C-alpha cells in the first residue's frame, strides 16, 4: 500500500464528518469539552468541544497567539485549565499530571526542543524507555536486575535512531546536534515510549528546509503504523500536504475544521490569518521539487 492510498483510506474515514467546529468523528480517541484557560483578564483558550479521530494526522493551526500551544499544554498536563474536561480512549485525563498523561500513552514534544543536551543521544533515548526496573531507587544499585532491560532498550533505541539517521551520533552529547537533528531526536525519543498518540508542538519551527521534508515523512510513517498524530503549526501551507484533518484556532477558539483542501478556503480561516498578521506565502512549494529536495538532503547528510 503506497502512502497515497493510505492517505485516501484514512481520509475516507473522515469523509462523512461535517466541516464545522466541534464536529463529531466516527472513532474519536481524544475528546475535549469546555476547556477554558485565562491569564489575568485575558482568555487564552476557550474550546467548547473537540474530537480527534484515531489513526489520522490532525493539524492544529492558527496564527501566532491563537492559543494553540496553551491548549496543547492543557491537554498534556503541563498547565491547569480554569474549567474543562477531556478524555483519552474513554478515560478522563483532566487534572492529570504531565507524567500521568504520558503514561496513558499520549507523548508530546516541545516547540523549543527539549533534547537533553548534557546527556548523549543514546542516553536521551534510554531515558524514555518505559517500566525500566533500574529507574526504581531500590533496584537501581543492583545492576544485574536491570541489565537485560537496558540491553533490550539499547537495541530498540538504535533501531529507532537508525530510522531517523541519528545512529552514528548515538554517543555524542545531544547538545552538539543541529536544531533539526534535535527535533528528530525528540521525536525518536517520544517513540521510545511506545505511544498511542503523539503530539508535536511546531515540529517544523526553525528546522532546515531539507529536514522539514524528512520530518514530514517520518510523521506520515507514524500514522501509517497506526499512531494518532496531533500537531501544532502556525504555517497553514506547511500542513497541507500531510494532514488528514485540520483544526483552526483563532483567539483561543476553534473557528473551523475540515480536510486541508477545504479548510484553507474557509472565510473564517482567511480572516483569522489576515486579521492577526499576514506573512504572505509561507508555503515553500519548491521543496516538492525532487531535485531541490535531493540537494538539501545531501547537505543534511554531510552534517
Q: Is the Cα dihedral 262, 265, 268, 273 positive or negative? A: positive
265 binds another protein (CB under 8 A): no
Q: Which is nearer to another protein, 103 or 165 (CB)?
A: 103
In whole angstroms, the minimum distance from the beta carbon of 134 to another protein comes to 3
In whole angstroms, the minimum distance from the beta carbon of 164 to another protein comes to 17
Extract the C-alpha cell encoding 248.
Answer: 483552526
In whole angstroms, the minimum distance from the beta carbon of 176 to another protein comes to 9
In whole angstroms, the minimum distance from the beta carbon of 26 to another protein comes to 29
78 binds another protein (CB under 8 A): yes
In whole angstroms, the minimum distance from the beta carbon of 302 to another protein comes to 24
Contact 245, 259 (CB under 8 A): yes
167 binds another protein (CB under 8 A): no
Residue tagged 482568555 (cell numbers) = 43
Per CB under 8 A, which region of 25-33, 48-56, 71-79, 219-227 contacts another protein?
A: 71-79
72 binds another protein (CB under 8 A): no
Q: Which is nearer to another protein, 173 or 296 (CB)?
A: 173
The size of the interface with another protein (CB under 8 A), counted in residues, is 47
In whole angstroms, the minimum distance from the beta carbon of 62 to another protein comes to 22
Site for another protein, residues 93 to 122, rule: CB under 8 A = 95-100, 102-103, 107-110, 114-119
Site for another protein, residues 139 to 158, rule: CB under 8 A = 140-141, 143, 146, 150
In whole angstroms, the minimum distance from the beta carbon of 91 to another protein comes to 15
183 binds another protein (CB under 8 A): no
123 binds another protein (CB under 8 A): yes
Extract the C-alpha cell encoding 217.
Answer: 515523512
48 binds another protein (CB under 8 A): no
Q: Which is nearer to another protein, 49 or 103 (CB)?
A: 103
Picking from 134, 195, 196, 125, the residue whose alpha carbon sits closest to that of residue 155 is 125
Tell me, letter by letter, the H, E, C secondary structure of the chain.
CCHHHHHHHHHHHCCCCCCCCCCCCCCEEEEEEEEEEEECCEEEEEEEEEEEECCCEEEEECCCCCCHHHHHHHHCCCCCCCEEEEEECCEECCCCCHHHHHHCCEEECCCCCCCCCCCEHHHHHHHCCCCCHHHCHHHHCCHHHCHHHHHHHHHHHHHHHHHCCCHHHCCCEHHHCCHHHHHHHHHHHHHHCCCCEEEEECCCCCCCHHHHHHHHHHHHHHHHCCCEEEEEECCCCCCCCCCCEEEEEECCEEEEEECHHHHCCCHHHHHHHHHHCCCCCCCCHHHHCHHHHHHHHHHHHHC
In whole angstroms, the minimum distance from the beta carbon of 230 to another protein comes to 14
173 binds another protein (CB under 8 A): yes
Q: Which is nearer to another protein, 4 or 141 (CB)?
A: 141
Q: Which is nearer to another protein, 197 or 236 (CB)?
A: 197
Cα separation, 188 vs 211, whole angstroms? 14
Residues of this chain that interact with another protein (CB under 8 A) are 39-40, 76-80, 95-100, 102-103, 107-110, 114-119, 123, 126-130, 132, 134-137, 140-141, 143, 146, 150, 173, 175, 189-190, 192-193
Amino acid at each position: 500500500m503506497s502512502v497515497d492510498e493510505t492517505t485516501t483510506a484514512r481520509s475516507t474515514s473522515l469523509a462523512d464528518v461535517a466541516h464545522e467546529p466541534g464536529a463529531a468523528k466516527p472513532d474519536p480517541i481524544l475528546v475535549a469539552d469546555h476547556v477554558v484557560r485565562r491569564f489575568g483578564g485575558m482568555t487564552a483558550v476557550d474550546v467548547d468541544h473537540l474530537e480527534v479521530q484515531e489513526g489520522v494526522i490532525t493539524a492544529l493551526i492558527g496564527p501566532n497567539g491563537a492559543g494553540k500551544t496553551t491548549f496543547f499544554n492543557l491537554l498534556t498536563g503541563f498547565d491547569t485549565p480554569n474549567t474543562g474536561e477531556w478524555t483519552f480512549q474513554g478515560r478522563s485525563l483532566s487534572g492529570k499530571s504531565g507524567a500521568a498523561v504520558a503514561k496513558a500513552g499520549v507523548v508530546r514534544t516541545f516547540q523549543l526542543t527539549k533534547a537533553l543536551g548534557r546527556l548523549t543521544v543514546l542516553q536521551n533515548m534510554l531515558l524514555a524507555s518505559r517500566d525500566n526496573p533500574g529507574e526504581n531507587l531500590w533496584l537501581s544499585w543492583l545492576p544485574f536486575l536491570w541489565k537485560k532491560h537496558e540491553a533490550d532498550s539499547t537495541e530498540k533505541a538504535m533501531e529507532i535512531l537508525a530510522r531517523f539517521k541519528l545512529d552514528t551520533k548515538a554517543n555524542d552529547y545531544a547538545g552538539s546536534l543541529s536544531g533539526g537533528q534535535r527535533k528528530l531526536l525528540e521525536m525518536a525519543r517520544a517513540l521510545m515510549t511506545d505511544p498511542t498518540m503523539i503530539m508535536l508542538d511546531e515540529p517544523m519551527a526553525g528546522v532546515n528546509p531539507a529536514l522539514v521534508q524528512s520530518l514530514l515523512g517520518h510523521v506520515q510513517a507514524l500514522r501509517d503504523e497506526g499512531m494518532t498524530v496531533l500537531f501544532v503549526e502556525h504555517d497553514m501551507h506547511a500542513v497541507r500536504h500531510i494532514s488528514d484533518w485540520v483544526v483552526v484556532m483563532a483567539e483561543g477558539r476553534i473557528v473551523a475544521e475540515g480536510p486541508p483542501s477545504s479548510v484553507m478556503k474557509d472565510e473564517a480561516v482567511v480572516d483569522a490569518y489576515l486579521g492577526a498578521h499576514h506573512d504572505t506565502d509561507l508555503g515553500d512549494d519548491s521543496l516538492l521539487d525532487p531535485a531541490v529536495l535531493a540537494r538539501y538532503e545531501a547537505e543534511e547528510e554531510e552534517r
